[in-house]
Structure 1
Amino acid sequence: MSDQKDILKNLKTSSIDRRLSIAKASFLAGTRWATSNATSFFSSEKDKEKKRKQVLREQARYLVSEIGKLKGSIVKIGQMMALYGEHFLPREVTEELNTLNNQTIALDWDSIYPHLKNELGSKILDLEIDPNPIGTASLAQVHRAKRKSDNLDIVLKIQYPGVANAIDSDMNLFKQMLKLTHLLPQTREFDQWFEEVREMMHREVDYHLEAQTTQRFAHYLKDDSRYVVPTVIDDYCSSQVLCMTFESGISVNSPDVLTLSQERRNLIGEAALEIAVNELFVWGEMQTDPNFGNYLVRLAEKSDEQDQIVLLDFGAIRQFDKDLLSVAHDLILAGYDHDLDKMVLAMRGYSFFEQIPANIKPDMAKVFLIATEPFSSLKNNPDIPEGIMDEEDRYDWKLSHLHNRVMQRASKSMASRYFSIPPKEFMFISRKFIGAYTFMTVIDAKTNLRNMITRLN
């Protein structure tokens, strides 16, 4: 972070500054939209559609560049819309919003230090803090430090000043921006989803809640040596500072991980999937952000040790009600048995499925049978494509092209319109397992999920 062009001197945290920035961007983008419509008035329908998509992409690219300059909660809102907005927003928009994940500009230490000192008071004197962050994000940046009394290695996750108070106004600004630039779908479902994002944002900046959640997951996993959860250091936590032990590791897509033996990559993959299964079916709460930055891999140094997954971020935890968990449980078990009738029966009792006509449910069930394919076995499922599962029921995620196959089947299904905007709870679960699929594909793992599933019976 020594290159000064990659450092922000300050944040535009006042509502007036941010409103002016967004209003200006929205006005310019709206003007360009109107101009584009006027110039294509006499074009053919094919040319109009081509022009429309081109302008959509240009609109989104311009607005993303403006949002990136503001940092703070409006960037995080954009990231969430990219992650979960695929059911509402045009593909051209979500693709551009995805580039917000590359917005990693740090806030200058001289600007963030007074904020940190105000949060910790005299306790800041206990610490020797590296002014160069080891990680940056839209809502916070992370600095490594040592506690002087015992040289304990810790990290301080420091929330940017003003972002928590700006969430509601930023949410309204973002919605207004989408509306003015003709990127916003006018639907009741979108409004409901938008309010869900608002609640998620408020949970993300609640560091007391994140500390409690981190401690709870540490308790869940305390007897399983495959996982590392940082220890929360309460003495240096506040409403806008989260202090935890520093935990070493390397990124999931590091060459050192990708060149491990197949057996070691398989074990890492199984551990990652078991977390998702436990979250959904045992603990009833799930880390809904599948970003690889939330995980590290700690490689074993000795032959009698095992590789570990370091779990870093518990700010995007979502809890689920028992009815939904029961339905999800039954859907997975029906997939394990590869039984169409069981899959249809598993849909009973949940309001979303109850509104679907009975004659369409079998078609929807066929989509779910493909989606749950990794949880099945060669004995139970003769429809698994050749070569994707071996004689030990290890599933080859990379070879499977599972996500594409599910999407293709869903698009051809009579129930396709019900897949277009599923319940928000299913969006979270779906996104979690898409993240798991990506994890497995990146490390080229081959996993047997039979033991995990049979435990659920």
Structure 2
Amino acid sequence: MSNDPKLSRALRIPEKRLSRLGGLGAMTAGVAGNMALGGLSQLAQAKRPNMRDLLLTPKNITRVTEQLAQMRGAAMKIGQLVSMDTGDVLPPELSQIMARLRNDAHFMPAAQLKHVLNAEWGAGWLKDFKSFDVHPIAAASIGQVHSAVLKDGRRLAIKVQYPGVAKSIDSDVANVGALIKMSGLMPKGFELAPYLEEARKQLHQETDYLREGKNLKRFNDLLRDHSNFVLPELVAEWSTPQVLCMSHVSGKAIEQMTHLSQQARDDIASALIELTLQELFSFGVMQTDPNFANYQFDEDTQKIVLLDFGATQEIGPNTVAQYHELFRAGLAKDLGALQSIVQQIGFFSSDTKDTHKAQISAMIELVFEAITQSESYDFTDPTLQAKMQKMGIKLANDGFIPPPLPIDVLLLQRKFGGMFLLVNRLGAQVNLKQLISRAVA
């Protein structure tokens, strides 16, 4: 969720399917019109039009991001999946366009918010509240969060779903997928369909706030004895399928904790990585959205605040077993076992060229080499990232198109990548070898 008030402005969310489809149609026509004008201009200068350059003008980028941000839902979810999960494969221009959606913070105007709450709680609900702030404290792809205080003194965080999002998921996903394909920026042979299908399924799950409430309760139970973490408590009597009511938990953006001591930052990073490993190997269930805004830190209690369990997913036992073998083989530097399990997981297939298999295996070996070469891995050291990027570019330029990953694996890689970025932002140093060894012992 984005919670930067400087970016926030009230913007009515289109509710009806036709209005959402019309918004996409107008955007597509506008982008195509801008491209046509640009192409004519280049032809007039005796230049051959370049489709990528015509699409990626400031005017087109602004039009696309603003329209998709206003629609929320599928538009932003696909943006998250494309920009976070495949940024090392897709052209950087497309990832950049979609990644901009994560930083947008438009929210429903007060009149639309009241209409939604009246439909969920019935007229006259405000009489039970001491206060209700109509300006959200956070906004995301599915809904926005408001601070409120009941007359009995309980301070609440109330997540309100955008109207029309749930009913328009399937059509939104299809339309945004068509827009991405129209861009012409997809690498030849890249399978977008699995990402679209995953976005569709995730959206259907995340728009069920009763499901998210159950996941919140589940993680509260799982982490009850973990002193490093604090979570909101579900307030069931004020929760509905479109409104999730929780106790308010105070905290500051965790990526802003760079002023803390090195040891404090290392401890935060270690706790987050250990939690991720526990979710995979002990809990069998994971909060798969690594958005920074889902993690806060309370400096008074020195606890990590965990938020937003809409993207919680079960991890299948087969995937758990495969990653257990992957980590054990990597730590043991058993290259034969490592290459075998990498193929079983699906990072490459039996049809993949031997040279590509070797390159992918070498990249994974490089990661484990970095983890095991010293007791503490410095996440601020750019060496590994630079080498991986160079090897990834070489692989892409050599024509490698990754096979569609199983959904469990896709979600795990998304979480791992997000944790790496967050720990990097904290400037932490962590004994990864010890944490992983303990998790797979």
Answer whether contact 1:295 1:310 (CA < 8 A) is retained: yes
Q: Indicate yes or no: 2:22 matched with 1:20.
A: yes
Which residue of structure 2 lines up, in the alignment, with residue 432 of structure 1?
415
Q: CA 1:272–1:127 in 2, change beyond 3 Å: closer, same or farther?
A: same
Q: Structure 1 stretch 344-353 or stretch 334-343: which is displaced more?
A: 344-353
Choose which of 237, 244, 247 in structure 1 pairs with 2:246. 244
In structure 1, distance between residues paired with 2:166 and 2:303: 34
Give the TM-score, by structure 1 length. 0.84
Answer whether contact 1:232 1:245 (CA < 8 A) is retained: yes
Q: Indicate yes or no: 2:321 matched with 1:326.
A: yes
Q: Indicate yes or no: 2:65 matched with 1:64.
A: yes
Superposed, which structure 2 residues align to 1:41-440 within 5 Å? 51-58=50-57, 59-86=60-87, 89-121=90-122, 125-128=127-130, 129-149=132-152, 151-183=153-185, 187=189, 189-254=191-256, 257-300=257-300, 307-347=302-342, 349-350=344-345, 353=348, 355=350, 356=352, 361-373=357-369, 375-376=371-372, 378=373, 389=374, 393-412=375-394, 420-421=402-403, 423-425=405-407, 426-440=409-423
Quick one: which amino acid aligns to residue 444 of structure 1?
A: G
* Structure 1 unpaired stretches of 5+: 302-306, 379-388
CA shift digits 1:234-283 (9 cap, x unpaired)? 111000000111111111122xx212111111101100111111122222
Q: CA 1:208–1:182 in 2, change beyond 3 Å: closer, same or farther?
A: same
In structure 2, distance between residues paired with 1:96 and 1:251: 24
In structure 1, distance between residues paired with 2:411 and 2:420: 14
Answer whether contact 1:23 1:177 (CA < 8 A) is retained: no
Q: Structure 1 stretch 136-145 or stretch 26-35: which is displaced more?
A: 26-35
SS across alignment from 1:280: helix
Q: CA 1:23–1:220 in 2, change beyond 3 Å: closer, same or farther?
A: same
Answer whether contact 1:8 1:107 (CA < 8 A) is retained: yes
In structure 2, distance between residues paired with 1:212 and 1:206: 10
In structure 2, distance between residues paired with 1:351 and 1:437: 21
In structure 2, distance between residues paired with 1:79 and 1:414: 21
Q: CA deviation at 1:70?
A: 3.4
Answer whether contact 1:252 1:297 (CA < 8 A) is retained: yes
Answer whether contact 1:136 1:142 (CA < 8 A) is retained: yes
Q: CA 1:224–1:109 in 2, change beyond 3 Å: closer, same or farther?
A: same
Ranked by relative contact order (alpha carbons within 8 Å, sequence separation 6 or more), the top structure is 2
In structure 2, distance between residues paired with 1:267 and 1:34: 54
In structure 1, distance between residues paired with 2:310 and 2:48: 43
CA shift digits 1:173-211 (9 cap, x unpaired)? 212333445456675721222111111111121111111
Answer whether contact 2:78 2:196 (CA < 8 A) is retained: no
* Structure 2 unpaired stretches of 5+: none
In structure 2, distance between residues paired with 1:364 and 1:24: 42
CA shift digits 1:195-234 (9 cap, x unpaired)? 1111111112111111111111111111111011211111
In structure 1, distance between residues paired with 2:314 and 2:148: 32
In structure 1, distance between residues paired with 2:114 and 2:179: 33
SS across alignment from 1:286: strand
Q: Structure 1 stretch 211-220 or stretch 175-184: which is displaced more?
A: 175-184
SS across alignment from 2:240: coil
Q: CA deviation at 1:11?
A: 2.4
Please report the RMSD computed on the Cα atoms of aligned residues, expressed in angstroms. Answer: 3.1
CA shift digits 1:104-124 (9 cap, x unpaired)? 122122221231132123665
Q: CA deviation at 1:38?
A: 5.7
- Share of identical aligned residues, percent? 27
